[in-house]
A = this chain, B = another copy of it.
Amino acid sequence: MTTQTVIQAMADKVLAGDRRALAQAITLIESGRDDHRIKALALLDLLQNSNREALRLGLSGTPGVGKSTFIESFGMMLVAQGLKVAVLAIDPSSARTGGSILGDKTRMERLTREPNAYIRPSPSQTELGGVARRTREAAMLCEAAGYDIILIETVGVGQSETVVAQMCDVFTLLLAPAGGDELQGVKRGIMEMADLILINKADGDLAAAAQRTCADYAGALHLLRKRAQDPDGFPKAACVSALQDTGLPEAWEDIQHLVTWRKSQGLFVKTRADQARYWFAQDIRNGFLAQLERDPYKQKIIDLAEKVGQGDMSPSRAAQLALASLRSAPINDANT
């Protein structure tokens, strides 16, 4: 078979909802090899207009907040409604350690066994930009494979929330019950991204604390400037218990209400277009800068940095010489 035939066959299987083909396709887009990248782009071209639309739901929460339990309970509820659910992850720590949030699938034992659920660990990458592109492309593959909901989770540290929010239709922040002081633990920037703040563990001894925390956040959200993408009452804060399955149907109703409203206003499509253009710009930037990490430029830059460090040349002059040596820089297509 020619390469084109192989890729077409893979695309057909993904469109037919073949789980194994989906897994292979995601592995292909995650590969760092140049020849794999060419195939991955061809595959994405074939699936670009599948005319299928999944709801992309972002979920952020710090470790200990009960994220795995929430995804399991929420995912099981959706599956019970006849929906197909895919779970992806962006783990900023995997950029450093190669580890992965979802590496241990035993944390979502029931959901893992569901034929209508697909769980994929975070790709390991050296930098967040790379993880972001691969997860965004994996979401697109899951959408083409006929999944209705794509849950993209991330640990609430650093920049990964921004990355997830930029590839989701709805962004949910999961928090644990806490004292008033800890309200400041959530960065303003992250709170401003949230469409829905869910206080988990609203059960047992923590039920009262969860109610208080929820009221605190509802008050804080009220102080933020209204965004164009919000219907009345949003962003909102609510209590859930992933352990006791309470509040989950209500959260799902809220999400659906939000999506329906945004679609009616033309905002759903607009946000997706904005996001696609954002990622296009990011990809160009990253691909362009990647040239600097390759020989012969890399060595040239190291040599010039040496002179700069010794005070023999101004940083400005050295940068000008380095850029001059990039004059006919060949851009490697496969690594865009």
Chain A 263-295 against B: per-residue CB contact (8 Å), 1 yes, 0 no?
000000000111011011101110111011000
B326 adjacent to A288 (CB under 8 Å): yes
B140 adjacent to A314 (CB under 8 Å): yes
* Chain-B contact segment, one of A14-22, A195-203, A300-308: A300-308
A260 CB–B CB distance under 8 Å: no
Q: List 27 A-B contacts (CB under 8 A).
A: A41-B316, A41-B320, A45-B313, A45-B314, A49-B311, A49-B312, A133-B316, A137-B316, A140-B314, A272-B311, A274-B309, A276-B311, A276-B314, A276-B315, A280-B304, A280-B308, A280-B319, A283-B319, A284-B292, A287-B319, A320-B333, A324-B331, A324-B333, A326-B329, A326-B331, A328-B330, A329-B331
B279 adjacent to A288 (CB under 8 Å): no
* SS class, residues of chain A in contact with chain B: helix
List the B side residues contacting A184 at CB < 8 Å.
184
Of the residues B45, B281, B292, B316, contact of A285 by C-beta under 8 Å: B292
List the B side residues contacting A326 at CB < 8 Å.
288, 329, 331
Bound Cα distance from A312 to B316, whole angstroms: 42
Of the residues B133, B288, B291, B336, contact of A292 by C-beta under 8 Å: B288
B41 adjacent to A317 (CB under 8 Å): yes
List the B side residues contacting A283 at CB < 8 Å.
315-316, 318-319
Bound Cα distance from A171 to B12, whole angstroms: 61
A331 vs chain B, min Cβ distance (A) = 5
List the B side residues contacting A273 at CB < 8 Å.
308-311
A322 CB–B CB distance under 8 Å: yes
Of the residues B301, B316, B330, B336, contact of A316 by C-beta under 8 Å: B336
A220 vs chain B, min Cβ distance (A) = 16
A318 adjacent to B280 (CB under 8 Å): yes
Most buried by B among A44, A184, A317, A333: A317
